[in-house]
Chains A and B, each alone.
Chain A
Amino acid sequence: MATETLTLGKALNAGMRKALENDPKVVIMGEDVGKLGGVFRITDGLQKDFGDQRVIDTPLAESGIIGTAVGLAIRGYRPVCEIQFDGFVYPAYDQIVSQVAKMHYRSRGKLKIPMVIRIPFGGGIGAVEHHSESPEAYFSHTPGLKVATCANPQDAYVMIQQAIASDDPTVFLEPKRRYWEKGPVEVDQPLPEAYPLQAARIARPGTDATLIAYGPMVRTCLDAATAAAEDGRELEVIDLRTLAPLDLGQVYESVRRTGRAIVVHEAPSNIGLGAEVAARITEECFYSLESPVLRVTGYDIPYPASRVEEEYLPDLDRVLDAVDRTFGW
C-alpha cells in the first residue's frame, strides 16, 4: 500500500482529485476555487486538470453557491461546495438549513442531495473577524445534515472522499490551522474497506481520563496527553470525527474505564457539542463517573480580536487545568 507524506490541505486536494476521477458527476464550486485554487490552495490544480465545467468559480454569493448546488444535485450531480471562511457561511444558512437538510425528508426519499459543503473553520491563525469561527453546533442541530471534521491528513484524504460518495448532505469542516500539518497518507486505500464516515477513533489510548475532541482540538489534546504522561497520568484521546451523528460507543467504553471525561472544542460552550456529549455520557455512564464531565471551550463571547485569541482558545494549559480539576473532584 502506497504511503505518502502530505499536509492536511494536500490530502484534501488529493481526495477531491480522486473523487473527480472516479465520478464524472462530481463538481467543485465556490469562490476562487478555480484559477486561484482557493485562498488556502485546497483545490489547487484541479480546474487545470478537470476543466472549468467541473471546477467552477462561482459569482460571489454564498446563498447562490448552495442554492444552485441544490439544483445541480436534483439534476444528478454531486456538488462539492467551498465556503471560503466559516464566518461567510451565514448568507447560505437558509439554503442549508431549510432546503439542503430537508429535501430528502420532504420528498419522502424521492430526492437526494448528495452535497458536500466544505468550510475551513476555527481560529488560531491570527485572522481578522469572521475568519476564525466554529459554527458546527448550528449545523449539528439541524436534522437532515451530517457534520464531519478531520483532524489529520489520513482522515482528510479518506473522509472527504467518503463525504462526496455519501448520498447524505454533509457539512465538512476543515481545521484551517492544521492545513499545513504533515502526516502519512495511504493514498490507494480502497474506500469501501476504510472506516465508515461516522466512526470515532481512539487517537491515543490511556487509562486515567478521557479527552474528547474533534478537528483542530485533537492535536491540542494529544499534546496535553503527552505532557500529562510526564506527570504520570495516561489520558485517552478520542477524535469524534463526525459530529452529526455522534458515534459515542467508544466514548462510553472509554469513560467506563477511566471514570473521567473532558470535552474540548473551540466553539463557545453554551448549547454546544460539549453539552450534548456530556449529557449523553451522563446518561450512559452515570455509575462509572468519578467526577462531572467537564468542558474546555471557547468562551461565550464573539470571537475576539486576534491578539487575544490565544487566551480565548483552549490550549494545552487549559486542558491540563481541567484534568487537574477532574482529579481534584
Chain B
Amino acid sequence: MAKGDPGVSTRGRRAVPRSRKGATGDPELVQLLTPEGERIESVTGPDGTEYRVDFTDEEYRGFYRDLVLVRKLDAEATALQRQGELGLWASLLGQEAAQVGSGRALRTQDMAFPTYREHGVLYCRGIDPIMPLGLFRGVDQGGWDPNEFKFNMYTIVIGAQTLHATGYAMGVTMDGKTGTDEGEAVIAYFGDGATSQGDVNESFVWASVFNAPMVFFCQNNQYAISEPLERQTRIPLYRRAAGFGFPGVRVDGNDVLASYAVTRHALDNARHGQGPSLIEAYTYRMGAHTTSDDPTRYRIASEVEAWQAKDPIARMKAFLVKQKIADDDFFAEVDEQAKRESVHLRERVLEMPNPEPSSMFDHVYPNGSPLVDQQRAQFTQYLESFEGSAH
C-alpha cells in the first residue's frame, strides 16, 4: 500500500481463518511457553498470523535476567514504601513478562506511552530504574527525558495517554516515517479498566481512521482496583478491535516469549504502514493496585494461588533448565545481580534529596509568567523572614 493512502478496506490483511487451538486448549490465547515451561513451536493467532520466536541461548537467558531484575527492583520499591521512603508504589508483580516481552520487542526508534505501572518497560528502554521512585517518593513528577528514551512520562489519569500515543503516531505518518524496516511505531500501554474510558475508545477511532502506526497494548490484569473485568466488558477485550476496524489478539501475558512475538509482529505491521492493532496481554495483578490498596477485601486467595501457578519467571526458569540453556551458576549469578542492583537502588533512594522548595515555581510556562515570578519572589522573601528564628 502506498504511503499516505489510509484506505481502510485495502489494508491487505489476510482473511480470517478459523482459530487453531494453542497448547493450552484455549483457542483465544497466543502462547509459546506453557506454565510448565514447555516451548510451543508456533501458534496461529485469530487473524491467521503465525507467531514463533527463535532466540539464541544468550537471548533466552537475557529475558530471564530482565524478568528477575524487574521483579526484584519492584519488590524493593514496595519495601521502601512500607518503610515510609515512598509515598506510594504501584507494583508490577505478576506482569513482568507482558512488560519485558513487549518492552524488548520495541525497536530503538519506537515510542512508548506508559501508564504508571510500566516499570518493566521503562527498564527495557534503558531508563535508570530509580526514576519512577522519584515520582512515587514525591520529589518530582517524572524525571526522565521522554524524547531521549522514547518513553513518555507516566500518565496517572486513566487512559489519557492512548490519545497522546495516537497523535504521536499520526505525526509519524505525517513525517513519512512508515513503510520500511526503519519505520517508526508507537505503543500505548493501558489496563483493562481503562478500556471503559472515552479517551481509549476515541483513540481506537482515531488510530483506525488515520491508519496510525500504533499498537494498543492492554495489560488485562483482571482488576481495576477492586472491580473485576466483568465490570468493564462482556466480551474478551481483544475482540473490541474488530468493531473499530483493526486486528486484535489475546496473548498469554505471563509468557514473555509470546508477549514478545505478538508485540514485535504488531509493531512491524505498524511501522510498515499497515495500521493499528490491539494486543490484550492476559495476565494478573498479583499484588495490590497500589500500596494504598487491600486486595483481600475483594478477591479470594484461591484465585491468586491459581495465577501463582502461571508465574512468568518460574516458567522461564523451568524452560531454561529443561533445555539445559542455563545452570545453577547462572541462576545464582542473576539472583546476585538482582540483589546488588536492588541494594544500590535502595541506597540511592535514601539519598534522594527533597526538591528545593522554590523550584516548584520553575517550568510552569516555557516563556515564564509575571504572576509566577511575583509569587516566587514573595515566597523567597517569606522564607527569609524566618531566618534566624527558631522556625
Contact = CB atoms under 8 A, between A and B. Distances in A.
Given A60-B232, A305-B355, A311 B360 contact: yes
Contact of B361 (A127, A299, A306): A299
B372 A308 contact: no
B365 to A, nearest CB: 10
A131 B391 CA distance: 29
B87 A57 contact: no
A126 B225 contact: no
A129 B375 contact: no
A58 B158 CA distance: 15
B152 to A, nearest CB: 14
Interface in B264-322: 292-293, 297-298
B310 to A, nearest CB: 24
Contacts of B226: 32, 34-36, 57
A36 B288 CA distance: 13
Contact of B375 (A299, A304, A309): A299
A107 B232 CA distance: 33
A76 interface: no
B231 interface: yes
Interface string A119-130: 000000011111
Given A32-B226, A59-B231, A129-B141, A91 B193 contact: no
B87 A126 contact: yes
A35 B140 contact: no
Interface string B344-358: 000000000011010
**Most chain A beta-carbon neighbours within 10 Å: one of B198, B199, B361:** B198
Given A87-B157, A299-B375, A307 B354 contact: yes
Contact of B360 (A34, A270, A304): A304
A187 B88 CA distance: 35
B139 A307 contact: yes
Contacts of A58: 231
Nearest to B156: A130
A299 B360 contact: yes
Interface stretch (B101-109, B130-138, B206-214, B236-244): B130-138
Contact of B379 (A57, A88, A299, A306): A299
B375 A128 contact: no
B357 A306 contact: no
A128 B298 contact: no
Interface string A195-220: 00000000000000000000000000
Nearest to B194: A60
B83 to A, nearest CB: 14
A61 interface: yes
A60 B224 contact: yes
Majority SS at the chain A contact face: loop
A59 B199 CA distance: 14
A231 interface: no
Of the four ranges (under 10, 10 to 19, 20 to 34, 35 or more), the interface on chain A belongs to 35 or more
Interface string A6-32: 000000000000000000000000011
B232 A36 contact: no
B237 to A, nearest CB: 13
Contacts of B55: none
A300 B372 CA distance: 6
A182 interface: no
Contacts of A302: 364
Contact of B227 (A31, A306, A312): A31
A308 B87 CA distance: 13
Interface string B215-227: 0000000001111
B371 interface: yes
Contact of A307 (B88, B137, B293, B385): B137
A137 B237 CA distance: 38
Nearest to B199: A91
A127 B382 contact: no
Contacts of B227: 31-32, 57, 59-60
Nearest to B89: A128
A302 B364 CA distance: 7
Nearest to B352: A307
B382 A318 contact: yes
B88 A128 contact: yes
B197 interface: yes
A126 B156 CA distance: 15
Contacts of A39: 225, 292-293
A59 B225 contact: no
Interface in A40-87: 57-61, 63-64, 87
26 contacts: A31-B225, A34-B226, A35-B226, A36-B225, A37-B297, A39-B293, A59-B193, A60-B194, A61-B196, A64-B196, A88-B157, A90-B157, A91-B198, A126-B138, A128-B87, A128-B88, A128-B136, A128-B138, A131-B156, A299-B375, A299-B379, A301-B372, A307-B355, A317-B386, A317-B391, A321-B385
Given A31-B227, A90-B157, A311-B357, 16 more contacts: A32-B225, A57-B226, A57-B227, A59-B231, A88-B157, A91-B198, A126-B87, A128-B116, A299-B361, A300-B371, A304-B355, A305-B139, A307-B139, A308-B355, A311-B360, A318-B382
Question: Can you list the 10 inter-chain pairs with the closest CB atoms, starting with the nearest?
Answer: A306-B138, A36-B226, A59-B196, A60-B193, A304-B360, A311-B357, A307-B138, A61-B196, A126-B87, A307-B354
Interface of B: 87-88, 116, 135-141, 156-158, 193-194, 196-199, 224-227, 231-232, 292-293, 297-298, 354-355, 357, 359-361, 364, 369, 371-372, 375, 379, 382, 385-386, 391
